[in-house]
Each structure stands twice: as C-alpha cells, then as structure tokens.
C-alpha cells in the first residue's frame, strides 16, 4: 500500500488530496466494507473500526455510505461475505467487489416478498429499516442490532431457523412467538417480521405459532461472484471517462458546492484507489462532485464512485487518521471501506533515533511485528553498513503483536528491523523498518529548574556529554521555538562540557519572565541529534 498527501490547484483553489493505492484484492490483500460496531444501528469512527479489527488484519480505509444520523443505518446496501445487512437505496449507486478483484457499479433495485404456505405472496416493504409509510411489513435480521425498533401502530412475530440473509436467496422461518407491541429481541438464528397499519391483520392471521414463512430479498440487477458491496454514489468514472451527469437521486446542494469528499476507484492494472479530499479549510477548499470525477480520472481510475462527503470524509491507517476531518475531529459513521492486509506487519519502531547512552532519553527501543494468522515468523536486527546480525529469532507464532525490546548499545549508524512470515495457508510476506542509533549527544542537565535573575542577570549551569566529535549548537528558546540566546556554535570533540547562561538574551538584556527551553543540537556523519530541557525564569525586578 502507498499513501501520498498531495497539494493541488483545482478550480483556482488550493486543495489537499489524500491518496491511498493498494494492490488488486486477492492473495494477501482484500477490499471489503466494515459495519460500525458490527450492526446496522449505531455509529463508529473509521479509526475505531480499524483498532477493533486489528487482530484480523492491518487496515487502511475511508468512510463509507451516507447514513441516518439518528439510527446510524447506512442509506444504501451493505453486504459482507455474502450476508446482507441493508438494501440498496433507489436511484443511488452500489459498489460491488468481485471475487476476481474487480469493482462494479450500478443502480441496484430491491424487491422483497413473504408468504405463509399457499396464502398470497406479499411484498416485503423494508429490510432492516422501519416502515416509514402508514402500511407495510419489514424484516429485521440479527445484523440490525439486538432488538427490532419500537414502532407505533405495529405488531411483530418472532421467527427461528432463519438462515443468513443474502441477495436473491430464498429463506424460510418458523414462527416462535407473537408478542404484543414491538421492539422485541432478535434471535441469533432468527428474525422478526414487523407489520404496520393494515398489514398487521394478514401477518397475525397467517403467522400462527409453528407456521413457516417463505422470505426472499431480491436485488436486481446483481453481479455473480460479488460477496461484498457498499452503497454510496454517484458514479464518478466509467470506462476511464468522467461521469458528470449520473442522473442519481442527489440534490444539487449535495453535488455542486466545494466540500470535503471521499471516493473509491480502480486503476487500469487492477490496483485500488481510495481518495479523501480535505475541505472547509482556509488551506483546502474542497471540491465539487464534477471536480472529484475529473480528479479520479487524473489519478488513473477507470472505474470510480463517490462515498459520503462533508464532515464524514476520513482516511485512516492502522487506527490513525491521515486527513483533517472538517468537523475538527473524526466523525462516527455508519460504515467504512477498508483495504485489509493479512501478511506480517511491522509498525514503525518506537524510536526513529535510538540513543542508548544511559541518560534516560531514547534509551529503550521497541520493535514490533504483527501476524493475523498462525505463521512461522522470522525477526532479525541487521546493521545496514555491513549486514551484521546481532539478534535473530524464528518461531511459530499465533495471531498477535510481538515486541522486541532493545536496551543494548548498538554501533552508531543505520539499522534494519526485518520481519518475514509464512502463514498457515503457505503465503509468505515480509517487511522492513529502518532506524538510526546515534550516541553523539547525551546527559543534558540543568543546575536548576527555576532561575530568578536580578537586574544584573542570573546563573544557570548547563552540562552535556559528547560521545563523538560533532558540530554543536546550544541555544535558549521560547516554548514556541524563538531563539533568544545563542550560547555555543562550534565543533567539539568527545568529552564532557559545561556552559553557563546568565539569563540574558543576545542583546545583553535579562529575558522576560516565562518558560524557556535549553536546546542542544549535534550534527556529524552519523546524523543529527537534539536534546532539550525546560527552565522557568521569574525576574526579581
């Protein structure tokens, strides 16, 4: 997977675009929708979904479909592993993810039915959605949530022996109970049929305890070999050409303004493209739907569809948000679209700069490896300059994250943390992270934390140790980073050093009462290392 943050000029305005590309689904990579909290009701942040599922895969993704703000129900279809949780929304696109790794988009219709024995075949008005009209019947499956919704002027029957709901799949259920009212618990292997208005009478007349009902959730057109799908829209790209008039059920107020926007697409070679555009910011104006379509073509998409926009627009990786949601914080949403990586993953080391010199700063390095399937895992530490391996381990590991803690002194320079794995299905993967060991500078200490200078000044003794020759700069700064005093700027050899600051700035005046930072910075062939300590100055005059 590759992530890029781009700054572009679109329609005469600056726009920040977050682009994630991933391999075509298959082998160690998948693309699938994720339902908030595993149920239709409720909402969850994209990063929260990733953390919740982190033991199953390493995830990168974006927010998904539009949704009902109160219930959290996605507006369109949600299908995961062949299990249907919500139906399509008429007039809006559906994205299907094929077992061949290719994306499909189309306007998908819904038609459901229910029938007791030889009684008339009747329409199933809704699936996992309350009936909003005066009359109608809805089916609620376990993915809706723990219980059916409370609805006025309605009755419901509880069904058992109902298989998991799928597109165009014939189902059956046995009536187990006919309780009064609505809002009853949905059995784990059952469902609830809820009727409103004049539909109550046929449901209660025919739905006697012990009777069997035939159910059907029809989606047309539907694609063979599609087990995962998510709603959204409108369609943005078809055959590599931008679609400006998709003729879908959206208001001009949703399509024409410049807003944060999210999209999914597929490149000509099969790679997946996820895009999040920041908006409603002074530094990123957002885009219109037409501009988003053009952008997806410029990025190489041959197929693309929009997802929810505005404050919902989010891109995250491994539980960390990559863009800047316009609400100021990440918005909980109904679902998300995730790239799932099933190979070994090494997250960045705890320290990019490791300095094990015993001064308590950057002395302990932690290196990570994660597998989500039983795997034979090899981990090793390699010196980049000559390939020397001071530590290596190979063992069969169960799913989880494994930490190698390094406290030992390593030679200054660049080091590689290499992890590889062969999982229980025989699929191999590997990953490398790099960090630097640099013991050039350490043991920065101040003689006091509070300095109370007079009109003549004050006294603060600063000491530090240089492990190898380097160019060293010692400064006093405000917490905001403004330099008020240059104390040292010279080349120093290895050794211990002590410098005194008299509490004055570069113009020879005593500094104002406030918090300051003493910063030492050393630079040599190994790299750059910096240390800081804080001191509070309170003038006595």
Q: Which helix (DSSP H) or strand (DSSP E) does residue 78 occupy? A: strand 78-80
- Give the predicted TM-score (pTM) of the model: 0.91
Residue 268: phi and psi, rounded to 5, are -60, -30
Give me the pLDDT at residue 410, please. 92
> What is the reported pLDDT for 409?
84
Mapping DSSP onto H, E and C, the string for 228-295 reads EEEECCCEEEECCEECCCCCCCCCHHHHCCCECEEEEEEECCCCEEEEEECCCECCECCECHHHHHHH
In Å, how far are 347, 368, 415, 416, 527 from 432, measured between CA atoms? 9, 11, 10, 7, 21
Q: How far apart are the C-alpha atoms of 463 and 487, rounded to whole Å?
A: 12
Report whether 499 contacts 520 (CB < 8 A): no
Looking at the structure, tell me whether residues 12 and 84 fall in a common domain.
yes
> Going by C-beta distance under 8 Å and a sequence separation of 6 or more, which residues neighbour residue 251?
none
Instruction: Please give the Cα distance from 8 to 445 (Å, whole number).
Output: 46
- 236 and 97 co-located in one domain: yes
CB atoms within 10 A of CB 515: 10
Are 254 and 313 spatial neighbours (Cβ–Cβ below 8 Å)? no
Answer yes or no: do 92 and 232 share one domain.
yes
283 and 179, same structural domain?
no
CA distances, 436 to each of 318, 416, 527 (Å): 24, 9, 8
Residues 197 and 239 in one domain: no
Same domain, 241 and 336: yes
Q: What is the pLDDT of residue 15?
A: 98
Residue 93, both tokens = 């696109």
Q: Is residue 347 part of a domain?
A: no
Quote the CA–CA distance of 404 and 373 in Å, as a whole number: 19
d(CA 159, CA 168): 20
Tokens matching residue 382? 């390699």
Residue 346 lies in a domain: no
**Does residue 369 form part of some domain?**
yes
pLDDT, tens digit (0-9, with 9 covering 90-100), for 385-436 = 999 999 999 999 999 999 999 998 899 999 999 999 999 999 999 999 999 9
User: What pLDDT shows up at residue 443?
Assistant: 97
CB contact at 8 A, 490 and 446: no
Nearest to 518 by CA among 454, 448, 446, 467: 446
Residue from 412, 278, 418, 309 nearest 355 by CA:
412
Same domain, 397 and 359: yes
| Helix-, strand-, coil-residue percentages of the chain, each rounded to 5 | 5, 50, 40
Buried b (16+ CB within 10 A) or exposed e, 199-229: bbebbeebbeeeeebebbbebeebbeebbbb
Q: How many domains does the chain have?
A: 4
How far lies 373's CA from each of 25, 54, 225, 396, 403, in Å? Answer: 18, 12, 25, 11, 17
Q: Are residues 207 and 232 in the same domain?
A: no
Judge if 415 and 445 occupy the same domain.
no
Residues 30 and 73 reside in one and the same domain? yes
Give the whole-angstrom CA distance, residue 160 versus residue 82: 20
Same domain, 93 and 158: no
Per-position DSSP letters for 452-496, written without gaps between them: --BTTB--EEEEEEESS-EEEEEEEEETTS-EEEEEEEEEE-SEE
Last residue of a domain, one of 421, 437, 453: 437
Flag whether 377 is in a domain.
Answer: yes
Place of tokens 């219930």: 71
The answer to whether the beta carbons of residues 347 and 59 sit under 8 Å apart is no
Q: Is residue 213 part of a domain?
A: yes
Contacts of 201 (CB under 8 A, 6+ apart): none
pLDDT value at position 27? 93
Given 278, 306, 341, the domain boundary residue is 341
**Taking Cα atoms as reference points, which of 418, 369, 363, 427 lies closest to residue 398?**
369
Taking the C-alpha atoms of residue 170 and residue 513, their distance in angstroms, rounded to an integer, is: 78
Answer whether 93's CB lies under 8 Å from 248's CB.
yes
pLDDT above 70: percentage of residues in the chain: 100
Say which residue the tokens 């493209």 belong to: 273
| 289 and 259 Cβ atoms separated by less than 8 Å | no
CATH number at residue 520: 2.60.40.4070
CATH at 196: 2.60.120
Residue ranges of the chain with per-residue pLDDT less than 50 = none
Decide if 267 is inside a domain: yes
Residue that terminates a domain, selected from 437, 453, 480: 437
Question: What distance in Å separates the CA atoms of residue 241 and residue 239, rounded to the nearest whole number?
Answer: 5
Whether residue 348 is contained in a domain is answered as no
State which residues form the domain around 72.
Answer: 2-102+227-341
Does 456 reside within a domain?
yes
Domain shared by 121 and 81, yes or no: no
CATH number at residue 428: 2.60.40.1220
Q: What is the pLDDT, as a whole number, of residue 408?
A: 85
Which residue has 């739907």 as its token pair? Answer: 289
Three-class secondary structure of residue 394 per DSSP? strand
Report the DSSP pairing between strands 353-354 and 78-80. Answer: unpaired
């Amino acid at each position: 997977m590759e992530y890029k943050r781009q700054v572009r000029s679109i329609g005469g305005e600056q726009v920040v675009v977050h682009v994630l590309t991933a391999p075509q689904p298959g082998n160690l990579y998948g693309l699938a929708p994720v339902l908030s909290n595993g149920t239709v009701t409720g909402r969850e942040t994209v990063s929260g979904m990733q953390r919740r599922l982190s033991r199953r895969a390493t995830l990168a993704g974006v927010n998904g479909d539009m949704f009902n703000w109160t219930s959290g129900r996605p507006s369109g279809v949600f299908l995961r592993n062949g299990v249907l949780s919500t139906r399509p929304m008429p007039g809006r696109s559906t994205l299907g993810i094929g077992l061949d790794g290719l994306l499909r988009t189309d306007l998908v219709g819904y038609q459901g039915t229910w029938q007791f024995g030889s009684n008339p075949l009747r329409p199933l008005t809704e699936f996992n959605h309350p009936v909003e009209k005066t009359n109608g019947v809805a089916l609620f499956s376990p993915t809706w949530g723990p219980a059916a919704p409370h609805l006025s002027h309605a009755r419901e029957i509880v069904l058992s022996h109902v298989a998991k709901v799928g597109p165009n799949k014939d189902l059956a259920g046995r009536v187990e109970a006919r309780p009064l009212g609505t809002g009853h618990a949905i059995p784990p292997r059952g469902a609830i049929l809820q009727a409103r208005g004049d539909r109550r009478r046929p449901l209660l007349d025919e739905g006697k305890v012990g009777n069997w009902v035939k159910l059907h959730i029809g989606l047309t057109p539907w694609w063979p070999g599609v087990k995962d799908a998510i709603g959204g829209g409108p369609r943005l790209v078809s055959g590599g050409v931008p679609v400006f008039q998709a003729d879908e059920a959206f208001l001009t107020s949703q399509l024409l303004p410049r807003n944060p926007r999210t999209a999914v697409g597929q490149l000509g070679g099969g790679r997946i493209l996820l895009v999040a555009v920041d908006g409603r910011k002074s530094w990123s104006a957002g885009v219109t739907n037409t501009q988003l379509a053009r952008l997806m073509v410029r990025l190489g998409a041959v197929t693309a569809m929009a997802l929810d926009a505005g404050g919902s627009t989010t891109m995250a990786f491994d539980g960390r948000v990559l863009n800047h949601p316009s609400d100021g914080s990440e918005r909980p949403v109904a679902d998300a679209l995730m790239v799932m990586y099933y190979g070994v993953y090494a997250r960045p080391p705890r320290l990019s700069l490791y300095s094990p010199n015993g001064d308590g700063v950057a002395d302990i390095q932690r290196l990570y490896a994660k597998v989500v399937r039983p795997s034979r895992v090899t981990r090793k530490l390699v010196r980049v300059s000559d390939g020397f391996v001071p530590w290596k381990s190979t063992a069969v590991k169960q799913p989880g994250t494994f930490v190698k803690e390094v406290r030992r002194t390593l030679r200054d320079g660049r080091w590689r943390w290499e992890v590889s794995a062969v999982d229980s299905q025989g699929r191999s993967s590997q990953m490398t992270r790099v960090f630097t060991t640099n013991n050039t500078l350490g043991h920065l200490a101040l003689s006091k934390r509070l300095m109370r200078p007079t009109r003549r000044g004050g006294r603060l003794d600063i000491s530090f140790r240089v492990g190898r020759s380097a160019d060293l700069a010692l400064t006093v700064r405000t917490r905001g980073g403004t330099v008020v005093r240059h104390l040292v700027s010279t080349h120093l050899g290895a050794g211990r050093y002590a410098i005194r600051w008299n509490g004055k700035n570069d113009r020879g005046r005593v500094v104002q009462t406030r918090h300051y930072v003493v910063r030492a910075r050393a630079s040599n062939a190994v790299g750059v290392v910096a240390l800081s300590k804080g001191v509070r100055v309170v003038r006595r005059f």
